[in-house]
């Protein structure tokens, strides 16, 4: 548990205030996943469960009723398993430590839950995340229908959780700032160690080592160390290419601290000098990224932001003869998406892509939102419509931004992004060997 039990209690109270009468939120823990035969992936708890309780164990399920009762089902005690994976709480300890009204073993869910939910008319539960709990829920809903002969409406829990999680509290902002600070130092280390004839994975390993040394529990998402044409693959995670003189390297990597994410991207020349065309396109993209950050303030909608970015990128593409036609036509027909297929960014928090919810499907920025701004330009190596010197170049520049009362604060400002700064920093590293 990273915050006091009071913090979690307050969050649960706020949640209950937003719940309709006779409803229940049912949140199972994230599933455990196998990596290969007899080997599990390291377990990452559910962000919603962490947000509301701080409880990190798997095989659990939290129920919060609109009358404010909280019930937590926790994994069964298994002394043999505990020899291998360490102690688990069990219901008494979990209730006391996490200040939950009542705790039971998960194996008792099927006979206890129908009684707990006997007056419930609407359930907030997300199917297709944890199949074991999906089976339990299907049975539960059937039992409730048969027993009480009532219609139970099913709703997406994001409707309740996202509005709480979108605005970050002081303690959450501290955690994100720490995650960003850890990542920032690691990005700088990567720049200093960058050189030709080393493999992408060597830098990836260095990044992991650096963030863990500084207190990160993990990376927030699989790091992208994409050199040369790999930068055109948006979520390239093979990280296996030998880097060559003249390559750009796109590093999109972020630490997770107390389960809070950071998400930073920089693109730079591995041998410390941008080529003429690399410099020209990078400088234009950087100008756009800075313009977009300046634009951010409370009240802007996601659509406003995306539309402005698309306009700026389309102008760039037209100026550089990457696309032809009128600006209006390129935007109307979405031709720009061939070279910029994603959005301006996303909210950042316990998840690297933090959940959003708005009735209008168009989120409006508010003070204490944290988001990324990450324009990119990806020019595929096999695109014969491009000038030869442009083929295979990929750029993305991504910063983490806190929305303030009047504008924004760039949390990841410590990672260089100006051409001269990048060239100087990489060269410092090169001169040391
Ligand atoms: N690193 C994933 C993203 O930028 O959204
Ligand atoms: Mn991102
Ligand atoms: Mn990213």
Residues 242 and 315 in one domain: yes
> For the residues 185-190, what does the mean pLDDT come to?
98
Residues 155 and 277 in one domain: no
Residues 60 and 73 in one domain: yes
Least trusted range by pLDDT, from 27-31, 142-146, 238-242: 142-146
For the chain, give the mean pLDDT: 96
Query: Quick check: CB of 374 below 6 Å from ligand 1?
Result: yes
pLDDT confidence band for 430 (50 / 70 / 90): confident
Task: Choose the final residue of a domain: 163, 193, 217.
Answer: 163
Domain coverage including residue 228: 167-431
| Span 89-139, pLDDT tens digits | 999 999 999 999 999 999 999 999 999 999 999 999 999 999 999 999 999
Q: H-helix or E-strand containing 114?
A: helix 109-116
The CA distance from 90 to 77, in Å, is 6
The CA distance from 271 to 205, in Å, is 19
Residues 315 and 360 in one domain: yes
Query: Quick check: CB of 221 below 6 Å from ligand 1?
Result: yes
pLDDT confidence band for 397 (50 / 70 / 90): very high
Q: If 0-12 CB within 10 Å is exposed, 13-18 middle and 19+ buried, where does residue 186 land? A: buried
Residues 154 and 180 in one domain: no
DSSP-derived 3-state class of residue 97: helix
Q: CB neighbours of 333 closer than 8 A, spacing ≥ 6?
A: none
Residues 137 and 198 in one domain: no
DSSP letter assigned to residue 128: T
- Cα of first residue to Cα of last residue in the chain, in angstroms, is 44
pLDDT at site 411:
98
User: What separation in Å is there between the alpha carbon of 322 and the centre of ligand 1?
Assistant: 25
pLDDT at site 361:
81
User: What separation in Å is there between the alpha carbon of 164 and the centre of ligand 1?
Assistant: 22
Ligand 1 atom with the smallest distance to the CA of 224 is: 1
Residues 109 and 176 in one domain: no
| DSSP codes, 391-428 | TTEEEE-BEEEEE-SSSEEETTTTS--SHHHHHHHHHH
Q: What is the percentage of the chain residues whose pLDDT exceeds 90? A: 95
CATH number at residue 26: 3.40.350.10
Residues 144 and 201 in one domain: no
Residues 145 and 204 in one domain: no
pLDDT at site 431:
75
Q: If 0-12 CB within 10 Å is exposed, 13-18 middle and 19+ buried, where does residue 15 land? A: buried
Ligand 2 ion: nearby residues, β-carbon < 5 Å: 263, 372
Instruction: Tell me the pairing of strands 34-36 and 39-40.
Output: antiparallel
Query: Quick check: CB of 263 below 6 Å from ligand 1?
Result: yes
CATH number at residue 402: 3.90.230.10
Query: Which residues of 165-257 form beta strands (DSSP E)?
Result: 218-219, 224-227, 248-253, 255-257
Task: Choose the final residue of a domain: 138, 163, 188.
Answer: 163
Residues 130 and 210 in one domain: no
**Number of structural domains, the chain?**
2
pLDDT confidence band for 224 (50 / 70 / 90): very high
Q: If 0-12 CB within 10 Å is exposed, 13-18 middle and 19+ buried, where does residue 24 land? A: buried
Catalytic residue IDs: 38, 235, 252, 263, 342, 346, 353, 374, 378, 396, 398
| Span 272-293, pLDDT tens digits | 999 999 999 999 999 999 999 9
User: What separation in Å is there between the alpha carbon of 370 and the centre of ligand 3?
Assistant: 14
| Span 306-329, pLDDT tens digits | 999 999 999 999 999 999 999 999
Residues 222 and 348 in one domain: yes
pLDDT at site 432:
66
Looking at the predicted structure, is the pLDDT value of residue 148 above 80?
Answer: no
Residues 135 and 230 in one domain: no
Task: Choose the final residue of a domain: 163, 194, 227.
Answer: 163
């Amino acid at each position: 548990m990273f915050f006091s039990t009071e913090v979690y209690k307050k969050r649960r109270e706020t949640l209950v205030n937003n719940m309709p009468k006779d409803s229940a939120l049912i949140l199972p823990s994230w599933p455990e996943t196998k990596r290969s035969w007899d080997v599990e992936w390291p377990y990452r708890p559910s962000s919603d469960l962490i947000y509301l309780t701080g409880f990190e164990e798997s095989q659990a399920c939290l129920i919060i009723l609109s009358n404010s009762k909280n019930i937590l089902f926790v994994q069964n005690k298994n002394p043999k398993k505990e020899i291998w994976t360490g102690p688990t709480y069990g219901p008494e300890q979990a209730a006391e430590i996490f200040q939950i009204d009542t705790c039971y073993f998960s194996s008792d869910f099927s006979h206890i839950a129908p009684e707990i939910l006997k007056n419930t008319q609407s359930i907030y539960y997300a199917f297709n995340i944890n199949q074991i709990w999906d089976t339990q829920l299907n049975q539960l809903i059937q039992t409730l229908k048969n027993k009480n002969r009532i219609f139970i409406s099913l709703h997406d829990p994001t409707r309740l959780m996202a509005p709480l999680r979108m605005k970050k509290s002081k303690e959450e902002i501290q955690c994100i700032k720490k995650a960003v600070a850890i990542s920032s130092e690691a990005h700088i280390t990567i720049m200093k160690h960058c050189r030709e004839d080393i493999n992408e994975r060597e830098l990836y390993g260095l990044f992991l080592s650096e963030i863990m040394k500084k207190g990160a529990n993990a990376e927030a998402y699989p790091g992208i160390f994409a050199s040369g044409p790999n930068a055109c693959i948006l979520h390239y995670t093979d990280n296996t290419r030998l880097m060559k003189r003249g390559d750009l390297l796109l590093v999109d990597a972020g630490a997770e601290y107390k389960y809070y994410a950071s998400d930073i991207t920089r693109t730079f020349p591995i041998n410390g000098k941008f080529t003429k065309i690399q410099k020209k396109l990078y400088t234009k993209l950087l100008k756009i990224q800075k313009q977009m950050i300046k634009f951010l303030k409370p009240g802007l909608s996601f659509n406003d932001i995306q539309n402005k970015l698309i306009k700026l990128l389309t102008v760039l593409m037209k100026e550089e003869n990457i696309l032809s036609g009128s600006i209006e036509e390129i935007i109307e027909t979405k031709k720009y998406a061939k070279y910029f297929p994603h959005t301006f960014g996303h909210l950042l928090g316990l998840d690297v892509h933090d959940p959003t919810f708005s009735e209008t499907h168009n989120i409006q920025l508010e003070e204490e939102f944290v988001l990324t701004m990450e324009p990119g330009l990806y020019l595929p190596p096999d695109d014969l419509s491009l000038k030869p010197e442009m083929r295979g170049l990929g750029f993305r520049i991504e910063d983490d931004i806190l929305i303030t009362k009047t504008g924004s604060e760039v949390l990841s400002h410590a990672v260089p992004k100006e051409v001269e700064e990048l060239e100087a920093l990489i060269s410092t590293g090169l001169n040391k060997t």
